[in-house]
Amino acid sequence: ALICERGLPLLGALALFSTSNLSKWFFRSLVFLVAIVTVATFSRAAFLAIFVASSISALCWYQIKYRKALMSVSLLLLPLIVLVVVTIPDQLGTVFRVSDSSTLTRLWLWEAAVTLLSQSPIFGIGPDNFLYLHTDHLSPEAWREPNLSHPHNIALDAWLSTGIFGAAALAASYGYIFVKLGSLKLTPPNNWLLRGVLVATAIGALHGLVDNSYFLPELAGIHWALVAFSSTIRSGTTDKPASPAD
């Protein structure tokens, strides 16, 4: 779910950015497949992150001429959602359950993480040490989950793993993407790539509020690939990419 949720807006942006029909249908097919996998994970955090980021994006970027594209995506995902509701009701019920052990465990982990931070607020406890140290501060009610390796919050995880300076650097990298790409005004289809990167970054940050969102090789790689993409975009890039015939 952590990777699929970021792939969805990027693949969708590539589908809208592509100029050939073959490329468009190729990326649309990938969007559909990744959407199926994302729904199959039944990750509440992924669903909420995608919903919130997409809703904010729609409010910020909505234009009349994009109604057709937005409607196409909606009609593509609607049958998939109906299929899940009809065929897997028991699993779907867990998506809307807020008082289950998963939610409570996160609250207990955050409490233990804050306690650890109070003991070492400047330098943290170092990478991968949360697994070995947080159990001393974990609520007795959380005995079922004693072997969790991260606090399920990107801010707490970064602060504990890399100290306050590392957490500030990670926050700055997220801010760089939003500020750099959010300030650019590009014409279609280039603007779709920027929006795809912005939405993917927002989804990762939102999901990171309740889960691991950076401290895995693949997640860190995706994040810094988005940062690298942001750094290569020039403010003057406002025209449609030239075709080979130009």
- How many helices (H) and strands (E) the chain has is answered by 10, 0
The pLDDT score that the predictor gives to residue 238 is 44
Q: Over its length of 246 residues, how does the chain's per-residue pLDDT go in tens digits?
A: 788 888 888 888 888 888 888 888 898 888 888 888 887 887 777 877 777 777 766 666 655 455 555 555 554 555 555 555 544 555 545 544 555 567 778 888 999 999 999 999 999 999 989 989 988 888 887 777 778 889 999 999 999 999 999 999 999 999 999 998 888 776 666 777 888 898 899 989 999 998 888 999 999 999 999 999 888 876 554 444 444 444
**Is 115:130 a contact under the CB 8 Å cutoff?**
no
Tokens describing residue 173: 């990298």
- What spatial distance separates the first Cα and last Cα of the chain, rounded to whole Å? 41
pTM for the full model?
Answer: 0.77
Give the span between the Cα atoms of 115 and 194, in whole angstroms. 39
Q: What pLDDT is stored for residue 240 in this prediction?
A: 46
Take residue 148 and report the two structure tokens written for it.
Answer: 């969790």
**Cβ(204)–Cβ(222) below 8 Å:** yes
- Sign of the CA dihedral with 58 first, then 64, 69, and 73 last: positive
